[in-house]
């Protein structure tokens, strides 16, 4: 009996260690890939690179890393839940382990973002390649609109020629939005429109990353409370992984649940909702503590539901 118990304990410890290693590798891999892809997408936006200053580049790098932190947190937790369900890791040990790892990795990534911002701001950015007569066009849309900058990228608000497939060339010395330079260039649809489904997810992930960054700037305790409550709510969806006999269906259901949490996070942190909380609470409770409290209460209810389902199944199994 003693040998059997020792074997069970070693098996549980082995599964827990593999869970930790798998979660760390997934978070780091997703963070690096997503941050790189996000930053490359920004770099390929030539309409914003024409007058890129160090401050602008620093903000773009920070936005890419913030987005990657939120994306990695959500996706790595989903993969961690899949690992727990597939390998049969003891939930009482797996849930705290994954929660601590998620909070720690998110805080470490936020700390790295702060150091990265100071490094980028100290670098000198060279002007992009191009001179007078630079043509802006989309190679994927040869019949689309193209813009010729007669004064080159150094003066994107200067005279230009607009070329369209179905009309003659148009010379523009002045045009609407010219005074908005050098921050942007109007016209010229350089990039394809993304489907709204993916665009909405990207926007919500960006807002989620900004929320975590704001709490990080407010202090360690604020970050731990907000991120910890969010992680507690996300991990509480572990029961979805065992709803049916089809793991792939359970995975997609969990993805939908996480999408709902992401939308809820965006809604609760919106200015209108925050003003509503402020007017309702009348300074009885800090507004910054309302959203983490909602996450924590919702997660606690889901944990209670999972516990009751587990006890009911265990009792019915004993009766059989």
What domain range includes position 157?
138-180
Higher pLDDT, 188 or 166: 166
Q: What are phi and psi of 82, to 5 degrees?
A: -60, -40
Task: Kindly state whether residue 248 falls inside one of the protein's structural domains.
Answer: yes
Residue 319 has pLDDT above 50, yes or no: no
Which whole number is the average pLDDT over 142-160? 65
Cβ-based burial of 123 (10 A; exposed 0-12, middle 13-18, buried ≥19): exposed
Maximum average pLDDT range among 37-41, 121-125, 262-266, 285-289: 262-266
**The Cα angle at residue 47 between residues 35 and 59, in degrees rounded to 5:** 40
The domain total for the chain is: 2
Shared domain check, 278 and 222: yes
**Cβ–Cβ under 8 Å, residues 132 and 158:** no
Pick from 114, 146, 180: which residue ends a domain?
180
Lowest average pLDDT, out of 53-62, 71-80, 223-232, 245-254, goes to 53-62
State whether 149 and 245 are in the same domain: no
What's the CA gap between 94 and 22, in Å, rounded? 12
What does the pLDDT look like over 96-121, one tens digit per residue?
999 999 999 999 998 888 776 565 55
Which range (61-65, 209-213, 253-257) has the least confidence? 61-65
CA distances from 195 to 45, 112, 198, 263 (A): 18, 32, 6, 17
Identify whether residues 61 and 34 lie together within a single domain. Answer: yes
Report the alpha-carbon distance of residue 20 to residue 3 in Å, rounded. 26
Structure tokens belonging to residue 69? 């932190």
Q: What is the pLDDT of residue 186?
A: 40
Residues 83 and 231 in one domain: yes
pTM for this prediction: 0.73
Residue 294 lies in a domain: yes
Mean pLDDT of the chain: 78
pLDDT of residue 120: 54
User: Is residue 188 in some structural domain?
Assistant: no
Provide the pLDDT for residue 106. 93
Confidence of residue 182 (pLDDT cuts 50, 70, 90): very low
In the chain, where does DSSP find H-type helix? 2-43, 46-49, 54-87, 91-121, 196-218, 220-235, 247-268, 271-281, 290-319
164 and 298 fall within a common domain = no
């Amino acid at each position: 009996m003693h040998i059997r118990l020792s074997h069970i304990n070693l098996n549980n410890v082995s599964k827990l260690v593999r869970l930790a290693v798998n979660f760390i590798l997934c978070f780091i891999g997703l963070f690096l890939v997503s941050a790189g892809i996000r930053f490359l997408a920004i770099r390929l936006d030539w309409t914003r690179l024409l007058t890129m200053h160090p401050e602008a580049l620093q903000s773009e790098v920070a936005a890419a890393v913030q987005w990657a932190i939120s994306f990695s947190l959500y996706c790595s937790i989903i993969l961690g839940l899949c690992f727990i369900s597939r390998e049969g890791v003891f939930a009482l040990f797996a849930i705290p382990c994954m929660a601590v790892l998620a909070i720690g990795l998110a805080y470490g990534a936020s700390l790295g973002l702060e150091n990265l911002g100071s490094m980028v701001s100290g670098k000198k950015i060279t002007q992009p390649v191009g001179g007078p007569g630079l043509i802006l066009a989309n190679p994927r849309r040869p019949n689309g609109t193209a813009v010729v900058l007669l004064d080159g990228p150094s003066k994107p608000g200067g005279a230009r020629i607009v070329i369209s497939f179905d009309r003659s060339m148009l010379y523009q010395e002045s045009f609407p939005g010219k005074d908005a330079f050098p921050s942007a260039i109007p016209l010229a649809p350089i990039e394809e429109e993304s489907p709204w489904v993916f665009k909405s997810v990207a926007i919500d992930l960006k807002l989620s990353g900004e929320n975590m960054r704001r709490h990080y700037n407010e202090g360690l305790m604020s970050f731990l409370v907000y991120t910890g409550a969010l992680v507690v709510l996300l991990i509480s969806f572990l029961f979805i992984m065992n709803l049916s006999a089809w793991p792939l269906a359970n995975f997609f259901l969990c993805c939908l649940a996480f999408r709902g949490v992401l939308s809820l996070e965006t809604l609760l942190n919106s200015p209108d909702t925050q003003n509503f909380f402020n007017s309702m609470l009348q300074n009885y409770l800090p507004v910054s503590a309302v959203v983490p409290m909602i996450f924590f209460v919702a997660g606690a209810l889901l944990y209670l539901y999972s516990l009751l389902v587990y006890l009911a199944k265990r009792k019915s199994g004993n009766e059989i």
